[in-house]
């Protein structure tokens, strides 16, 4: 101990400051425990016996340390420890021994509790006074601490500056403190507020108004397994507080921060009330790994964005770069999103908050499908063949299946308790009607947070219970597709009240009938229990254990009546299915953290262990041939399809269990908050890698920061309030998503279909290897470098950060093509290839106007990303072609949509390039058909075009080159106005709506009004539906996404009501784009694979961006009115 | 320092405590709930049929799943095509390219046949290895027969490869070293290997022909495969072997007394839904919609019928309307031939309740759905265009899969193989007797039409070859110049829709010479398929077939 201290002291000779640092550290620990000072200090009790002659000073000090809990702190330059001394003491107080020991030297000493400080510098008198606490001359200071608005603030720390001595304000904001003579000032501090130091002088009453810390450098941000002051963070972390969230009827937690964090792409591709947002952070990082999405931690427990009611969220923090996320090892590879729910606060007086809103939606843009009038004109113009006759009616099919929905949300938050025990209860009810008939999502959720401190605050317990119960009926995209296909001159019903149907047409059915002649519902219950225990056995050491158990159960049922096409056309005689699932997550995380500040050296060591497991099972059964429609899906056994024995596989179930075990450690150190360093290491094993040669992965990270603004040479300037340069490198990873890919597996099924063989007159299920085993399978590794600059200038009027990152994903998991034979299957999941993501993120915040009445905050964020496949082979796995084909376009196209070439970017559309249309009526084979650009760049007539792979070209790229967002926040007196705008630029979209619906040869269905327009002003199209460059459009857009106008009343004048806020909001307000489809903000995940039975399917997750599906849910515009009341 | 010790002790205690917890919690989950981990699975004799049956499964996928052998052998020929339809069937031009002999090295038929045939081969190699190493518990008395059966089955997969690609690697071992890349063999080597394997192994398998051997390689299936190899010996190896082929056929024919193999009284009987154990079938690929339940396992009816036909058969799914007969081929039929009647779905279509069906797509919307023997071209067609494939009976109430067993080898083929050998070796009279024998059941009401004479068989083909689509005036190349062309016609009449037209046309030397519908010759090298580009990419030992 002493030796170590020597070293630290050696590098920092100013003892006085060392003492200060120590005190601050102690202060932090003993905050709120003022009665500590009433007990006699250690030095007044502890006694030591010494009988030492001709010994070095060091030996004597060692002996004192051995006998007691005292230890010495000193600077080796000042103190000669080799000085020979004689000392004799019999059970004496240290204060008696020290004068004798240093008699005749220039050494001054201070005894501070158990620490003995030695110095040759003069020791300030007041410090000596505090240390020995022998001078009882004290005076009492009292006062009241209030917030900006005059309300009393309980729980504020009041400390005699430079000492550990302090107290807390009471519920009325009042405090009282005994101050020793000579004390200079009091420091008032409170989380989220600027600390204030007030000179005492002759005052006996000091009243203080606390001010919120605006810069946020003292603000605490969430990092892995703990929190940090923002100013000390050395990696790219973004934090969004609830004030800054998108207001109104949001889909899920993801939408709250849409456009608020640079580099984080959040897409809400569907207005379906059961859908969720899609998130992509800094580009694609994994092709086939288990971790395709950012790790979402809700109060430290893994979850998903949909789980928690948006109203229940206090803040969202995002760890963007690998050096920060590496502490989470594998799961953090796509970044980490911390969702902090509203917490019980020990400082709060009891409050009740009620928040509510009501919303409705309209379709913002819809397809310009031919109306009945258009249709009749098309018939008159001879464009329509007989296959879609005028049936005499005028029907807007989209209108027939939609409605004006009502969305309501009610949220109640209770907070109460004191600094020992406190609680929060949050109750939320959300009922979202979908725009489409019968679609809805109704959720009731509750959340209880309970904190208790005991044993002098040495033990803190947090219990967090969360539960939600939801039921829903989703939007059926097939009904929407049918609505786009229907003849607008057809009636919905026949005169006799039955549904109008033309069921012999290919894939053509009345969507209104589909909706009314079916019934479905899903019920989902989530329960999560979390307990956290934090034990502080000694100063600076914190042991914590977090345990959670979460369980999701879901059941769903769906049925179709005998008036549904499943009977009228498909002879099912009534149809129903039911299914369910149960997923159980268990988590245990144990951490030990030791923090210490010595002089200007501040360090924290963290070590921990994490265990996570999931047990999942589901079942599904379907049946048909029911005697009645009466029971829907509630009596599945009533159907006779199962009992007929003619069908296999109508009942199925499955189960999987996975776990993940990790050990981790982290060291953070800073010198004078000027030079910062953080290093972490996580070692992890995953059950997906069971049976491989090495299931363990190691994920190191290191990051450094330099607070330039703290340097002496910056002390004179007033331009920068803060300036920090940081750099980090971190490795994260991903295990495969499937279990047991490393070992030989034999099974009875391929793609859930049993492989039977007829054996001696009986059909038996065969048993066969289901995969090529790869014992070399290992972790995918993402190596990320991040260089960033954080700054704040001109009195915090301008602040921001700039980050450059480079992510190299090594050992990419990919179903690698292997020769068969010798392999049984022609692909093996292997770690092959390297992918790279590079990008720049800039976030700038301005406060152009700031007066008492008016404030304008504005922020701009910019991010860019380039995503490249660097290689796709290694020593074992070699591919002579340098590309893979990705994506799939639905029938009648059935071709891949994208190409991923080694050295090329992710997201390239690959297809035929149109340069003209055949316009010679005598050339029947080519009239009205595409003229394509051949491989040699020359035009090729349609009849000569081979449509081969070699004929394809890159037609564009579906990933935006950059994103821009601009948030504005105006406040005028009690009014506030928020405007969120965002856009994506330089990318293309495959407009499949036009591809399928703008082709006049598809005349068995309705088409867009533009279908009969001449192509290139020449002639109508006569070629069949074909994916080519004509349908690849620029997708650049700018959305004025969210506009919220609010009125706040802080002093309502009404008894019991403390504050009140009323707001109106519109979501997806305006869009500026040249794109011809419904919405250029298209799904990042296409989710359609070319899976054929017997052929290995390749997931396209994220690798085929920019596909605007024909059945896309129309974009909605949402109007909301909301009210928040605090009682 | 006491304080320090306190910290140390506390630390040690905590670490010890953690170690206890952690050591119990570093074990990875290793339970598989619906698959068996090979290393933990010890098969018992009750698992044997399930284990040794697996290599047969691959044949079904090889033959009938989407864009596999069936399309490669039939749609590339002069009997059927998949034209663009009002509801699609363009699909990037894949079907058109098969018809026009313009397939690429990436096309499904090229890739899938290779993949699935080799999957079957590797499965056979695996079972052979496991039996030999006793890792699956086969009774010693059964070992020889089982290994021989697997080798015959493996030979059948090699037959497909030899026929489709010619120059493919022969891999006989399962336990190859890591990183092993097979080396390529010539087509002749592949042919020799198959013949050698069959000769060595057919005597070792069961000569029974009963429920136990149904769907399995018995002696007769092995011999039929051998006869097919010899019949095509000239194509496969450069040296004809018609005498050998005839001898093998005779062996089969002469043993019918004990094997109970015989011609069915009608050809239709071979293809009905409940055709299992048909005495004409020598080797069946058994199907049952209940058990063979992959989406495209046997969906010829879904591919050929129009959606309206759902009502004809009360199907559980709407058919997709695509593949149909080439009119020029249909014209080679005598319309009183039972095979013309039974093998194609023609003219006005009716619902099961007798209602006339009406077309609902394309130019014929609102008009009767009446299939006509006219197809404008591969690039365009209407709902009514082309006779539909109906050789395999479509059961009332069928799912999207048929339950008819697929006769991979049947007795009529043995007779016709022998006839062809006789014809080619100068015994046209003997050939005529056999051809007549096969024809007779199809002209029951008009027996004289069944008779074929030796001089008939020496004529050329009656097929009106020529480019005959809507884009240009028809051409008429005819088939008179095809040697034994009449016999080729007979093969078409009897074996249409049985995934074998291409090799027959190749053997008669006209596959790459003649035009039909929208197809015109595209080079003799098209008689072999290219080795998939992806396979060459993976195995640098492979050299692409000439011309590709």
What digits encode the pLDDT tens for the residues B304-335? 999 999 999 999 999 998 899 999 999 999 99
pLDDT at position A349 over 60: yes
The whole-angstrom separation of Cα A300 and Cα A534 is 14
Residue A844 in this model has a pLDDT that exceeds 90: yes
| Partner-chain contact A687 B533, CB within 8 Å | no
Could you give the CA distance from residue A105 to residue A407 in angstroms, rounded to a whole number?
81
Cis peptide before A821 (omega within 30 of 0): yes
pLDDT at A615: 94
d(CA A184, CA A163): 11
Residue A9 confidence (pLDDT): 32
Question: In chain A, which residues have their Cβ closer than 8 Å to the Cβ of B402?
Answer: none
- In whole angstroms, what is the distance from residue A560 CA to residue A629 CA? 8
Among all residues of chain A, which has the CA nearest to that of B286? A758
pLDDT greater at residue B200 or residue A312 = B200
Q: What are the tokens at B254?
A: 């002469």
Q: Please provide the DSSP assignment of A875-920 as one string.
A: SS---SS-EEEE---TTTT----EEEETTSBTTEEEEBPEEEE---
Asked whether the beta carbons of A670 and A676 are under 8 A apart, the reply is yes
Q: Which residues of B touch A748 (CB under 8 A)?
A: 50
B24 close contact with A: CB closer than 8 A: no
Mean pLDDT (chain A, rounded): 83
Give contacts of B 46-75 with A, CB under 8 A.
47, 49-51, 53-54, 56-57, 61, 65-66
Residues of B in contact with A1095 (CB under 8 A): 112, 115
Using an 8 Å CB-CB cutoff, list chain A residues near B473: none
Q: Which residue of B has its CA nearest to A884?
A: B534
What is the percentage of chain A residues whose pLDDT exceeds 70?
89
More confident call, A196 vs A530: A530
pLDDT tens-digit readout, A355-396: 999 999 999 888 899 999 999 998 888 888 777 888 999 999
Q: Between chains, do A767 and B362 touch, taking CB under 8 Å as contact?
A: no
Shortest CB distance from B102 goes to which of A661, A761, A946? A946
| Coil vs helix vs strand at A23 | helix
Pairing, β A988-991 against β A1107-1108: parallel
pLDDT band, very low/low/confident/very high, at A1056 (cuts 50, 70, 90): confident
Q: What is the pLDDT of residue A1050?
A: 74
Instruction: Return the DSSP state at A215.
Output: S
What is the number of other CB atoms lying within 10 angstroms of the CB of residue A181?
A: 12
pLDDT of residue A3: 32
pLDDT in tens, A415-430: 888 878 889 999 999 9
- Across A785-811, average pLDDT: 91
Instruction: Say which of B6, B25, B93 has its CB closest to residue A947.
Output: B93
Contact B223, B413 (CB under 8 A): no
Alpha-carbon gap, residue B309 to B396, rounded angstroms: 11
pLDDT value at position A16? 39
pLDDT at B24: 58
Better-predicted residue by pLDDT, A1034 or A1058: A1034
Per cent of chain A over pLDDT 90 is: 36
Find out whether A601 and A12 touch, Cβ atoms under 8 Å: yes
Q: Please say whether the beta carbons of B460 and B432 come within 8 A.
A: no
- Burial (CB count <10 Å: 0-12, 13-18, 19+), residue B179: exposed
Among A386, A613, A648, select the one facing B365 at the smallest CB separation: A386
When pLDDT is cut at 50, 70 and 90, the band that residue B12 belongs to is low
Strand partners, A558: A520, A577
CA distances from A289 to A484, A1103, B152 (A): 37, 13, 41
User: What are the pLDDT digits (tens) for A109-127?
Assistant: 777 777 777 777 665 544 5
Largest CA distance in chain A: 122
Distances in whole angstroms, Cα of residue A452 to Cα of each of A157, A535, A674, A806, A1008: 19, 12, 36, 44, 64
What's the pLDDT at B43? 86
**What ipTM did this prediction achieve?**
0.90
Listed by number, the residues of chain A in 955-1014 with a beta carbon closer than 8 Å to a beta carbon of chain B are 1004
Q: How many residues does chain B have?
A: 548
Residues A814/A287, Cβ–Cβ less than 8 Å: yes
CB-hemisphere CA count at 13 Å for A87?
A: 28
> Nearest CA to A587 among A869, A864, A295, A366?
A295
Chain A residue whose CA is closest to B540: A880
Higher pLDDT, A450 or A291: A450
Chain B neighbors of A1026, CB-CB under 8 A: 90, 92
The C-alpha angle A164, A166, A169, rounded to 5 degrees, equals: 155
Q: Do A765 and B50 touch (CB under 8 A)?
A: yes
Q: CA-CA distance, B85 to B380, in Å (whole number)? A: 6
The size of the A-B interface in CB pairs under 8 A is: 323
Amino acid A900: pLDDT: 86
pLDDT tens digit sequence for A747-765: 888 777 788 999 988 999 9
CA gap A262, A259 in Å, rounded? 7
Closest CA to B340 of B210, B447, B497: B497
Closest of A214, A212, A219, A215 to residue A233, by C-alpha: A219
Whole-Å CA distances, A815 to A777, A833, A881, A1098: 11, 11, 15, 7
Six-digit token pair at A20?
A: 């200060």
- For residue A487, is pLDDT > 60? yes
> In 3D, which of B466, B460, B459 has the Cα closest to residue B328?
B466
Token couple for B224: 């039929």
- pLDDT digits over A636-656, tens only? 999 999 999 888 889 999 999
**Secondary structure of residue B133 in the 3-state scheme:** coil
A104 in contact with B, Cβ within 8 Å: no
Mean pLDDT, to the nearest integer, of A984-999? 93
Q: Is A327 exposed, middle or buried (0-12, 13-18, 19+ CB in 10 A)?
A: buried
First to last CA, chain B: 84
The residue among A943 and B131 whose pLDDT is bigger is B131
A13 pLDDT band (50/70/90 cuts)?
very low
Asked if B290 lies within 8 A of A71 by C-beta distance, the reply is no
Which of B99, B169, B318 is the best residue to mutate to test the A interface, defined by the most A CB atoms within 10 Å of its own CB?
A: B318
A728: which 2 tokens?
């980090």
User: Residues 6 or more apart from A37 whose CB is under 8 A from it?
Assistant: A133, A165
User: pLDDT value at position A41?
Assistant: 64
| Cα A925 from Cα A917, distance rounded (Å) | 12
The answer on pLDDT for A187 being more than 70 is yes
Highest mean pLDDT: which range of A137-146, B2-11, B139-148: B139-148
Strand partners, A654: A618
Q: Would you state the pLDDT for residue A33?
A: 34
Are the C-beta atoms of A1072 and A1037 separated by less than 8 Å? yes
Confidence at residue A1001, expressed as pLDDT on a 0 to 100 scale: 83
Whether residue A131 is predicted with pLDDT greater than 50 in this model: the reply is no
């Amino acid at each position: 101990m002493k030796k170590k201290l020597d070293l630290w002291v050696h590098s920092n000779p100013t003892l006085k400051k060392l003492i200060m640092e120590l005190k601050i550290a102690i202060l932090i620990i003993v905050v709120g425990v003022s009665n500590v000072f009433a007990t006699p200090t250690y030095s007044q009790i502890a006694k030591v016996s010494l009988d030492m002659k001709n010994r070095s000073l060091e030996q004597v000090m060692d002996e004192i340390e051995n006998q007691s809990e005292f230890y010495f702190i000193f600077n080796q330059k000042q103190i000669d420890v080799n000085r020979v001394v004689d000392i004799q003491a019999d059970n004496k107080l240290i204060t008696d021994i020290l004068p004798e020991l240093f008699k005749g030297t220039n050494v001054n000493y201070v005894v501070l509790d158990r620490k003995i400080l030695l110095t040759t510098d003069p020791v300030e008198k007041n410090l000596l006074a505090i240390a020995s606490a022998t001078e009882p001359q004290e005076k009492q200071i009292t006062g009241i601490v209030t917030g900006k608005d005059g309300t009393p603030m309980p729980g504020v720390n009041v400390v005699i500056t430079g000492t550990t001595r302090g107290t807390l304000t009471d519920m009325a904001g009042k405090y009282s403190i005994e101050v020793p003579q000579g004390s200079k000032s009091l420091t008032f501090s409170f989380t989220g507020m600027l600390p204030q130091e007030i000179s005492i002088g002759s005052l006996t009453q000091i009243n203080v108004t606390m001010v919120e810390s605006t810069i946020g450098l003292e603000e605490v941000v969430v990092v892995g397994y703990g929190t940090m002051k923002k100013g000390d963070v050395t990696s790219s972390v973004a934090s969004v507080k609830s004030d800054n969230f998108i207001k109104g009827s949001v889909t899920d937690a993801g939408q709250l921060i849409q456009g608020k964090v640079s580099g984080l792409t959040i897409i809400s591709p569907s207005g379906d009330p059961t859908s969720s947002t899609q998130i992509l952070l800094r580009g694609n990082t994994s092709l086939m790994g288990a971790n395709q999405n950012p790790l979402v931690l809700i109060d430290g427990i893994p979850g998903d964005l949909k789980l928690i009611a948006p109203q229940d969220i206090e803040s969202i923090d995002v760890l963007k770069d690998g050096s920060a996320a590496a502490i989470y090892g594998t799961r953090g590879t796509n970044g980490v999103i911390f969702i902090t729910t509203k917490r019980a606060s020990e400082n709060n007086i009891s409050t009740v908050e009620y928040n509510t809103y009501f919303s409705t939606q309209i379709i913002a843009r819809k397809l310009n499908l031919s109306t009945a009038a258009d249709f009749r004109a098309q018939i008159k113009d001879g464009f329509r063949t007989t296959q879609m006759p005028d049936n005499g009616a005028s029907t807007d099919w989209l209108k027939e299946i939609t409605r004006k929905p009502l969305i309501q949300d009610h949220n109640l938050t209770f907070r109460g308790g004191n600094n020992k025990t406190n609680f929060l209860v949050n109750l939320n009810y959300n009922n979202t009607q979908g725009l489409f008939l019968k679609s809805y999502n109704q959720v009731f959720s509750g959340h209880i947070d309970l904190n208790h401190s005991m044993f002098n605050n040495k033990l803190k317990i947090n219990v967090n219970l969360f539960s939600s119960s939801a039921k829903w009926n989703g939007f059926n995209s097939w009904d929407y597709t049918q609505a786009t296909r229907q003849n607008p001159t057809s009636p919905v019903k026949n005169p006799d009240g039955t549904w109008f149907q033309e069921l012999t047409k290919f894939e053509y059915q009345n969507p209104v009938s589909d909706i009314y002649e079916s019934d479905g519902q899903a019920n989902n219950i989530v329960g999560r229990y979390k307990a956290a225990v934090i034990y502080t056995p000694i100063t600076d050491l914190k042991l914590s254990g977090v345990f959670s158990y979460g369980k999701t159960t879901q059941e769903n049922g769906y049925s179709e009546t005998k008036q549904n096409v499943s009977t009228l056309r498909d002879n099912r005689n009534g149809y129903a299915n039911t299914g369910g699932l149960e997923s159980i997550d268990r988590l245990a995380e144990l951490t030990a953290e030791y923090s210490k500040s010595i002089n200007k050296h501040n360090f924290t060591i963290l070590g921990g262990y994490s265990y996570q497991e999931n047990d999942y099972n589901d079942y599904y059964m379907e049946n048909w041939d029911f005697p009645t429609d009466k029971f829907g899906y509630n009596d599945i056994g009533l159907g006779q399809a199962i009992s007929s024995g003619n069908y296999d596989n109508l009942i199925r179930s499955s189960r999987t269990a996975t776990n993940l075990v990790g050990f981790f450690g982290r060291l953070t150190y800073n010198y004078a908050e000027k030079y910062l360093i953080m290093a972490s290491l996580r070692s992890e094993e995953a059950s997906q890698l069971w049976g491989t040669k090495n299931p363990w992965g190691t994920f190191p990270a290191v990051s450094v920061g330099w607070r330039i603004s703290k340097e002496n040479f910056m002390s004179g300037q007033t331009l920068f309030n803060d300036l920090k340069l940081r750099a980090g490198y971190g490795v994260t990873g991903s295990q495969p998503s499937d279990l047991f890919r490393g070992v030989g597996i034999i099974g009875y099924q391929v793609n859930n279909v049993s492989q039977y063989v007829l054996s001696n007159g009986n059909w038996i299920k065969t048993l066969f290897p289901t995969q090529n085993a790869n014992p070399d399978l290992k972790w995918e590794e993402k190596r990320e470098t991040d260089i960033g600059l954080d700054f704040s200038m001109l009195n915090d009027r301008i602040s921001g950060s700039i980050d450059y990152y480079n992510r190299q994903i090594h050992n990419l998991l990919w179903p690698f093509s292997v020769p068969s034979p010798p392999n049984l299957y022609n692909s093996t999941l292997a770690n092959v290839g390297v992918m790279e993501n590079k990008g720049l993120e800039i976030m700038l915040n301005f406060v152009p106007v700031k007066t008492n009445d008016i404030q304008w905050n504005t922020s701009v964020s910019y991010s860019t990303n380039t995503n490249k496949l660097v290689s796709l082979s290694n020593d074992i796995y070699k591919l002579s072609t340098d590309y893979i084909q990705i994506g799939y376009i639905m029938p009648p196209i059935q071709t891949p949509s994208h190409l991923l070439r080694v050295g090329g970017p992710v997201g390239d559309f690959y297809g035929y390039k149109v340069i003209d249309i055949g316009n010679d009526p005598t050339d029947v084979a080519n009239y009205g058909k595409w003229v394509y650009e051949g491989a040699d760049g020359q035009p090729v007539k349609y009849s000569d075009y081979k449509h081969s792979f070699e004929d394809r070209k890159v037609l564009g790229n579906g990933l935006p080159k950059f994103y821009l967002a601009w948030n504005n926040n105006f406040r005028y007196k009690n009014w506030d106005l928020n405007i969120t705008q965002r856009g994506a630029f330089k990318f293309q979209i495959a407009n499949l709506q036009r591809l399928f619906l703008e082709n006049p040869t598809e005349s068995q269905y309705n088409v867009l009004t533009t279908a009969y327009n001449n192509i290139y002003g020449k002639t109508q199209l006569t070629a069949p539906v074909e994916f080519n460059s004509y349908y690849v459009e620029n997708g650049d857009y700018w959305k004025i996404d969210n506009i919220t106008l609010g009125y706040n009343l802080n002093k309502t004048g009404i008894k019991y009501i403390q504050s009140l806020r009323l707001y109106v909001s519109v979501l997806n307000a305006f869009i500026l784009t040249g794109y011809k489809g419904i919405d250029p903000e298209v799904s990042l995940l296409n989710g359609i694979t070319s899976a054929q039975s017997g052929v290995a399917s390749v997931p396209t997750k994220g690798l085929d961006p920019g596909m605007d599906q024909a059945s896309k849910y129309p974009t909605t515009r949402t109007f909301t009115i909301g009210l928040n009341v605090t009682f | 320092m006491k304080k320090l010790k306190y910290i140390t002790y506390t630390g040690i205690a905590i670490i010890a405590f953690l170690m206890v917890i952690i050591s119990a919690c570093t074990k990875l989950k290793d339970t598989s709930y619906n698959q068996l981990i090979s290393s933990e699975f010890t098969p018992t004799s009750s698992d044997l049929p399930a284990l040794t049956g697996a290599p047969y499964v691959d044949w079904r996928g090889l033959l009938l799943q989407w864009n596999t052998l069936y399309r490669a052998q039939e749609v590339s020929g002069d009997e059927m095509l998949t034209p663009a339809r009002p509801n699609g069937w363009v699909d990037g031009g894949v079907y058109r390219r098969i018809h026009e002999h313009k397939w690429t090295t990436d096309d499904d038929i090229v890739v899938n046949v290779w993949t699935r045939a080799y999957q079957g081969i590797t499965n056979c190699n695996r079972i052979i290895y496991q039996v030999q190493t006793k890792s699956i518990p086969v009774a010693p008395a059964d070992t020889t027969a089982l290994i021989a059966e697997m080798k015959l089955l493996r030979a059948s997969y090699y037959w497909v490869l030899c026929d489709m690609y010619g120059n493919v690697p022969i891999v006989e071992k399962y336990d190859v070293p890591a990183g092993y890349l097979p080396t390529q063999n010539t087509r002749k080597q592949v042919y020799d290997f198959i013949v050698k394997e069959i000769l060595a192994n057919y005597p070792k398998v069961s000569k029974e022909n009963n429920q136990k051997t149904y769907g399995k390689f018995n002696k007769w299936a092995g011999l039929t495969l051998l006869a097919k190899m010899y019949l095509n010996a000239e194509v496969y190896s450069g040296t004809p072997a018609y005498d050998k082929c005839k001898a093998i056929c005779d062996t089969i024919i002469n043993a019918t007394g004990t094997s109970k193999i015989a011609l069915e009284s009608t050809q239709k009987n071979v293809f009905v839904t409940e055709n299992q154990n048909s005495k004409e079938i020598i080797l069946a690929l058994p199907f049952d919609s209940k058990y063979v339940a992959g989406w495209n396992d046997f969906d010829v009816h879904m591919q050929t019928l129009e959606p309206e036909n759902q009502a004809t058969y009360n199907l559980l799914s709407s058919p997709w309307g695509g593949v149909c007969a080439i009119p020029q081929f249909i014209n080679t039929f005598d319309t009183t031939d039972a095979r013309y009647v039974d093998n194609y779905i023609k003219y006005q279509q009716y619902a099961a309740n007798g209602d006339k069906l009406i077309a609902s797509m394309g130019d014929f919307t609102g008009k009767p759905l009446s299939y006509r023997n006219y197809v404008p071209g591969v690039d365009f067609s209407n709902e009514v265009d082309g006779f539909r494939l109906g050789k395999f009976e479509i059961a009332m109430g069928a799912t999207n899969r048929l339950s008819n067993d697929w006769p991979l080898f049947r007795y009529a083929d043995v007779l016709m193989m022998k006839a062809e050998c006789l014809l080619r070796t100068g015994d046209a009279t003997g050939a005529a007797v056999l051809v007549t024998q096969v024809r007779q059941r199809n002209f029951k009401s008009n027996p004289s039409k069944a008779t074929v004479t030796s001089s008939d068989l020496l004529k050329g083909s009656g097929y009106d070859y020529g480019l005959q689509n809507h884009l240009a005036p028809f051409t008429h190349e005819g088939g008179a110049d095809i040697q034994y062309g009449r016999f080729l016609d007979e093969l078409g009449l009897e074996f249409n829709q049985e995934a074998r037209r291409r090799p027959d046309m190749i053997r008669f030397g006209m596959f790459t010479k003649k035009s039909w519908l929208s197809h015109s010759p595209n080079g003799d090298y098209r008689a072999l398929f290219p080795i998939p580009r992806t396979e060459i990419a993976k195995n640098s030992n492979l050299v692409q077939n000439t011309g590709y």
